[in-house]
Chain A
Amino acid sequence: MASKLEPRGAGAAPSPRIRAGGGHVLLGYMWKYKALYFISLPGLFYFLLFKYVPLMGSVIAFQDFNLFTGITGSKWVGLKHFERMFSHYDFINILKNTLLLGIYDILFAFTAPIILALLLNEVRLMLYKKIIQTIMYAPHFLSWVIVSGIFVGILSPESGVLNVVLGWFGIDPIYFLGDDSYIRSVLVGSGLWRDVGWGTIIYLAALAGINPDLYEAAEIDGAGRWKQTLSITIPALLPVITILFLLKIGDFLDYGFERVFVFQNPLNIRNSEILDTYIYKAGLKQLQFSYATAIGVFKSVVGLFLLLIANTLSKKATGESLY
């Protein structure tokens, strides 16, 4: 894909010739285009300062970091904070919540857009399709705070539409947000509501790229629509699905701070506390800087491992991989 979008790739670039010509030629060449380097400085500085410096700052996970003495003046304590993390009475529960939400996210939020795209693809009335798409893409642009506000309204035990409708069937009002056992469904449900339509865009593009001749040929061979879907459509989507799946696995533990935090309250916290929200509370509320960083580092390392494992498996099974 990269070569398609970048017709003058590295192979065609003059750089290999220059390197062969020796260092001073390269420097001369760079000098000739010094303005280009000059323009790029603020942007590069941004990535260095706001991305790489804090990444290096992760070393405070191995210190007893003190704001006043700084990184150089704080004592190194090895894996102390990691040990503390694993022995924390609630750690297993928080990890369980994070993993469960990650699994639900793959089971529902990852698969739903694929199915929805397939269903939308069967729609032949273009105006209808356009209206449905317009409506379904819209919630994606709302902040999680607004989404939570809308859901709090709908799910309210006294006045919420959902409870009113349940009442018609004789079901007593349910306090969805005040109950441990519903909170994960609410989190997954609100995520679906906001992003399922948005998720179809990339699949719809892939579907539009399938050669119609294939379907025609299949029809002549007597294959029904279901058969066509199984043997033409799904295989055509498979590369996209695989890549998106790998990316999803890569941030398996990154369910998202905001979307969970805005739904949290003391009544549902047992099942809604995830690593990200716990890091915020331990770090910025209780000022346990090193401890909270250790949890962050743990999260990144696990995420990286999951990505590597998934990538290797996928390379073996489907030939698709991220690198």
Chain B
Amino acid sequence: MRHASVSRKIFLIANYLFLTLLGLTMFLPFMNVIAQSLSSGGAIDRGEVMFWPVEFTTHYYKYVFEDVSIWRAFAISVYITVVGTTINLAATSTLAYPLSRQEYVGRRLLLILILLTMIFSAPLIPQFILMRELHLTNTLWALMLPTAISAFNLFVLRSFFAQLPTEIIDAARIDGCGETRTLWSIVLPLSKPALATVGIFYSVTNWNKYMDALYYINDRSLYPLQVKLRELLITDDLADTGNLAFEVTSQSVQGVQMAVILVATLPIIMLYPFLQRFFISGMLIGSIKS
């Protein structure tokens, strides 16, 4: 690079400038949300709040903490994330393992049939009718069962299992382990990185679940956080949402909205360092397969 030409230098400077600017575009909106959630309603309305709080206040957070319906929605989201991800991992690994073994006759056909579901997804209405027939609408199962296995994650896990040395599995069988024992005490412990990757993908999906709740849940007491948040985002008047514990003026609506956005984002932010460690490898295995 010592003999870099002038045009090369100009390009490099422009490149760094551009990327820095782009990075700021990605980052500053978060700062804006944080700043607004900590600024007075008057300051927000006058357009004074950019990336730092103006007339600092925490009363939106007080409102959020006192609103039972937000807490309930938060708890439901935690529930579907924890229970849902457990179901996801159990269902995905018990299918991925047999499909990764060469002894499983017919696995090619099954893999193609599963791949086809990625290309042809069923229309919404037949899915809805099925859920209704199964009496799953208006239950939290509707947010966990229909999405129990993602074909993409199944392929990620299957590729990982297929790479494990056959000798280990054969040795376990010779020692008298049944297939279930082999899976539970040999294969799964060896696959922790892959399980972590897939588990994190599933957790984020479960936490962010909105569409399924919109389709299958009418009962307001079962709303997950994303639906509750959306409801708050489209109201101009917080009195409509039924919280009387806290006096709100119309001008502080946006502050409350931003505070709830932060509460809904917090678990993702906390997970992000782990996410980053795993998602790239998972993403690459998965896309090579499909």
Give which listed residue, A50, A67, A142, contacts B145 with CB less than 8 A.
Answer: A50
Give which listed residue, B132, B179, B283, contacts A33 with CB less than 8 A.
Answer: B179
B104 contacts A279, CB within 8 Å? no
Contact with B along A139-154 (1 / 0, CB 8 A): 1011111101111111
A40 contacts B123, CB within 8 Å? no
Q: Does B102 contact A (CB under 8 A)?
A: yes
Q: Whole-angstrom distance between the alpha carbons of A102 and B27 in the complex?
A: 27
Give which listed residue, B16, B120, B178, B283, contacts A55 with CB less than 8 A.
Answer: B120
Give which listed residue, B113, B166, B226, B254, contacts A156 with CB less than 8 A.
Answer: B254
Contact with A along B209-245 (1 / 0, CB 8 A): 1110011000000000011011001100000000000
Give which listed residue, A135, A142, A144, contacts B268 with CB less than 8 A.
Answer: A142
B179 contacts A36, CB within 8 Å? yes
Contact with A along B271-283 (1 / 0, CB 8 A): 1100110011001
Give which listed residue, A135, A138, A158, contacts B47 with CB less than 8 A.
Answer: A158
Per DSSP, chain A at the interface is helix
Considering residues A26, A50, A163, which has the most beta carbons from chain B within 10 angstroms of its beta carbon?
A50
- A39-B98, A164-B47, A202-B287 are known contacts. Are A5 and B261 too (CB-CB below 8 A)? no
Q: Does A241 contact B (CB under 8 A)?
A: no
B98 contacts A2, CB within 8 Å? no
Q: Does B80 contact A (CB under 8 A)?
A: no
Considering residues A37, A51, A158, which has the most beta carbons from chain B within 10 angstroms of its beta carbon?
A51
Q: Whole-angstrom distance between the alpha carbons of A283 and B180 in the complex?
A: 43
Q: Does B176 contact A (CB under 8 A)?
A: no
**Which residues from B are CB-within-8-Å of A40?**
94-95, 97-99, 104
Q: Whole-angstrom distance between the alpha carbons of A50 and B145 in the complex?
A: 9
A29 contacts B128, CB within 8 Å? no
B47 contacts A159, CB within 8 Å? yes
**Which residues from A are CB-within-8-Å of B123?**
54, 58, 61, 279, 292-293, 295-297, 299-300
B229 contacts A39, CB within 8 Å? no
Q: Does B129 contact A (CB under 8 A)?
A: yes
B102 contacts A8, CB within 8 Å? yes
In chain A between 99 and 125, which residues have their CB closer than 8 angstroms to a CB of chain B? 116, 119-120, 122-124
Contact with A along B164-204 (1 / 0, CB 8 A): 00100000000000111001000000000000000000001
A37 contacts B104, CB within 8 Å? yes
In chain B between 32 and 60, which residues have their CB closer than 8 angstroms to a CB of chain A? 32-33, 36, 44-47, 49-50
Closest to B272 in A: A138
Give which listed residue, A18, A38, A137, A293, contacts B105 with CB less than 8 A.
Answer: A18
Contact with B along A47-64 (1 / 0, CB 8 A): 101111111111011000
B26 contacts A136, CB within 8 Å? yes
A5 contacts B91, CB within 8 Å? no
A292 contacts B104, CB within 8 Å? no
Q: Does A230 contact B (CB under 8 A)?
A: no
Q: Does B130 contact A (CB under 8 A)?
A: yes
A280 contacts B130, CB within 8 Å? no
Query: What's the tally of chain A residues with a CB closer than 8 Å to chain B?
Result: 104
A10 contacts B108, CB within 8 Å? yes
- A33-B104, A43-B92 are known contacts. Are A60 and B126 too (CB-CB below 8 A)? yes
Q: Whole-angstrom distance between the alpha carbons of A43 and B271 in the complex?
A: 28
Q: Does A205 contact B (CB under 8 A)?
A: yes
Considering residues B5, B22, B163, B264, which has the most beta carbons from chain A within 10 angstroms of its beta carbon?
B22
Q: Does A193 contact B (CB under 8 A)?
A: yes
Give which listed residue, A47, A65, A135, A143, contacts B23 with CB less than 8 A.
Answer: A135
Closest to A13 in B: B102
Q: Whole-angstrom distance between the alpha carbons of A159 and B29 in the complex?
A: 13
- A10-B108, A43-B149 are known contacts. Are A283 and B125 too (CB-CB below 8 A)? yes
Q: Whole-angstrom distance between the alpha carbons of A197 and B29 in the complex?
A: 15
Give which listed residue, A54, A67, A141, contacts B126 with CB less than 8 A.
Answer: A54
B128 contacts A193, CB within 8 Å? no
- A54-B123, A153-B258 are known contacts. Are A44 and B276 too (CB-CB below 8 A)? no
- A123-B19, A136-B22, A145-B229 are known contacts. Are A57 and B129 too (CB-CB below 8 A)? yes
In chain A between 207 and 255, which residues have their CB closer than 8 angstroms to a CB of chain B? 224-225, 250
Q: Does B250 contact A (CB under 8 A)?
A: no
A138 contacts B26, CB within 8 Å? yes
Q: Does A172 contact B (CB under 8 A)?
A: no
Q: Whole-angstrom distance between the alpha carbons of A8 and B162 in the complex?
A: 8
A54 contacts B19, CB within 8 Å? no
In chain B between 105 and 156, which residues have their CB closer than 8 angstroms to a CB of chain A? 105, 108, 110, 113-114, 117, 119-130, 132, 145-146, 148-149, 154
| Top 8 A-B residue pairs of the complex, sorted by shortest distance between their CB atoms | A43-B95, A296-B123, A57-B126, A54-B122, A143-B208, A35-B179, A40-B98, A54-B126
For this complex, 28 residue pairs linking A to B, each with C-beta atoms less than 8 Å apart, are: A1-B288, A33-B101, A33-B179, A36-B98, A36-B179, A37-B104, A39-B183, A40-B97, A42-B91, A44-B95, A54-B122, A54-B130, A57-B129, A58-B122, A116-B22, A132-B23, A135-B26, A141-B208, A143-B209, A153-B257, A201-B284, A202-B284, A225-B11, A250-B119, A262-B230, A279-B123, A296-B125, A304-B120
